């Protein structure tokens, strides 16, 4: 059995660790690229959301590298994510590929379904072994998430633009190579020190912008054309709540006593949206309400045709909380130059607003 799992940001480091610990033969697909997208676009209905296309393209690339077992989210969720696995299985079989699709139930007992899926592909390894491999995988992702939060702070302040991003890329490789908890701890320590040693501009006064929206396009930099790096270059400190380690904590109930950020967001969104609409739409509205006082602006990332985020996008302009929102629709037509121009205009607006010390009236895109 040769197992594969599609890319989403640096999640692959955890998946790689998990399968190595479990002795699973793993085919890592190529990183998401223009090729992934063009393969996907040829074989997807055009109206489907971009995460569907990227994951389908990545599956094609993995199958071409010899994978015969694919892992994908499934289940009966509110948005179409729950149907991805069936649709992709159908599309790939139509293309002549011979493989098995193992579906992760995202709406039922999440922790149990996730562990069962990994157990199944590891030839029914003992539960204890699956659990310990899973914990190690999450630990790797959590270290990278913590480092990325630091990177968000360094980027807008660094004198030589690009240092923080380069250090983070090295950290991803180092975390991947870490063979145990001690080595992982050393990676965290070393790369924290490297980030702390980056020369900063003492006069920097970064704007605070929250990046929110649909999970996949927030976490996969290729799909949002590195929006956080671009914001950093423009002197913006990015704040974001969406991290894989955070999702596993709250969605998989690994932290039942912790403060659930999502519960706070749902409460904040209540006056405008009182129920889950699927995906991350409810949370996006909540972020605008909850963080209107501690942020200068919001960048809202939404995949083209994503129903939950379209609902959020339409509600955001009418909330009484006054904070500029730039909605960026992520699809295969998106271009870097267009994105940069929009970000520059948005950041310029935020700066003038901050300088004026008052709230300007902003038109929502």
Catalog residues that contact ligand SF4 under the rule CB under 6 A.
49, 51, 79-81, 214, 216, 278-279, 303, 306-309
Residue 47 or 357: the one with the smaller Cβ distance to ligand SF4 is: 47
Report the nearest approach of ligand SF4 to the CB of residue 356 (Å).
Answer: 36
**Could you tell me which residues come within 8 angstroms of residue 349 by beta carbon, excluding any fewer than 6 positions away?**
297, 324, 360, 362
Q: How far is the CB of 105 from ligand SF4 (least distance, A)?
A: 15
Quote the CA–CA distance of 21 and 16 in Å, as a whole number: 9
Question: Mapping DSSP to helix (H, G, I), strand (E, B) and coil, where does residue 86 land?
Answer: helix
Comparing every residue's Cβ against ligand SF4, the nearest one is 279
Whether 143 contacts 176, CB under 8 Å: no
Cβ contact 304:49 at 8 Å: yes
Strand segments (E) across the chain: 3-4, 69-74, 100-105, 207-213, 236-239, 297-303, 325-330
Give the integer Cα–Cα distance in Å for 319 and 6.
37
Alpha carbon of 365 to those of 62, 96, 298: distances in Å?
37, 42, 12
Looking at the Cβ atoms of 48 and 133, the one nearer to ligand SF4 is 48
The distance of closest approach from Cβ of residue 46 to ligand SF4 in the complex, given in angstroms and rounded to an integer, is 14
Question: Which one, 235 or 278, has the nearer CB to ligand SF4?
Answer: 278
Q: Report the nearest approach of ligand SF4 to the CB of residue 281 (Å).
A: 7
User: Is the CB of 55 or the CB of 292 nearer to ligand SF4?
Assistant: 55
Q: Which is nearer to ligand SF4, 108 or 348 (CB)?
A: 108
Two tokens, residue 152? 């968000």
Shortest distance, CB of residue 241 to ligand SF4, whole angstroms? 16
């Amino acid at each position: 059995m040769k197992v594969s799992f599609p890319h989403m940001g640096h999640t692959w480091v955890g998946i790689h660790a998990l399968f190595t610990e479990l002795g699973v033969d793993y085919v890592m697909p190529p990183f998401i690229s223009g090729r992934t997208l063009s393969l996907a676009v040829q074989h997807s209905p055009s109206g489907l959301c971009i995460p569907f296309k990227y994951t389908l393209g990545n599956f094609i690339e993995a199958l071409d590298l010899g994978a015969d077992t694919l892992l994908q989210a499934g289940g009966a969720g509110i948005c179409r994510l729950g149907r991805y696995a069936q649709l992709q299985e159908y599309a790939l079989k139509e293309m002549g590929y011979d493989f098995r699709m193992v579906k992760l139930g995202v709406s039922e007992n999440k922790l149990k379904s996730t562990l069962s899926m990994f157990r199944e592909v590891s030839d029914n390894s003992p539960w204890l072994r699956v659990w310990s491999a899973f914990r190690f995988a999450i630990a790797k992702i959590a270290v990278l998430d913590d480092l990325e939060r630091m990177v968000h702070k360094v980027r807008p302040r660094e004198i030589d633009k690009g240092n923080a991003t380069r250090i983070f890329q090295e950290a991803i490789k180092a975390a991947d190579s870490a063979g145990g908890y001690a080595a992982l701890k050393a990676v965290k320590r070393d790369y924290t020190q490297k980030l702390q040693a980056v020369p900063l501009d003492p006069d920097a006064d970064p704007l605070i912008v929250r990046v929110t929206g649909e999970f996949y396009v927030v976490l996969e930099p290729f799909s949002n054309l590195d929006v956080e790096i671009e914001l950093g270059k423009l002197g913006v400190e990015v704040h974001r709540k969406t991290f894989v380690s955070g999702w596993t904590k709250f969605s998989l109930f690994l932290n039942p006593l912790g403060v659930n950020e999502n519960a706070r967001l749902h409460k904040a969104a209540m006056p405008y949206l009182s129920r889950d609409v699927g995906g991350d739409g409810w949370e996006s509205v909540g972020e605008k309400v909850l963080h209107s006082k501690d942020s200068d602006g919001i960048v809202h990332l939404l995949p083209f045709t994503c129903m939950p985020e379209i609902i959020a996008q339409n509600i955001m302009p009418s909330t009484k909380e006054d904070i500029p929102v730039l909605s960026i629709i992520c699809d295969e037509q998106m271009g870097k130059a267009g994105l940069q121009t929009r970000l520059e205009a948005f950041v310029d607006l935020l700066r003038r607003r901050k300088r004026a010390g008052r709230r300007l009236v902003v038109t929502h895109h």
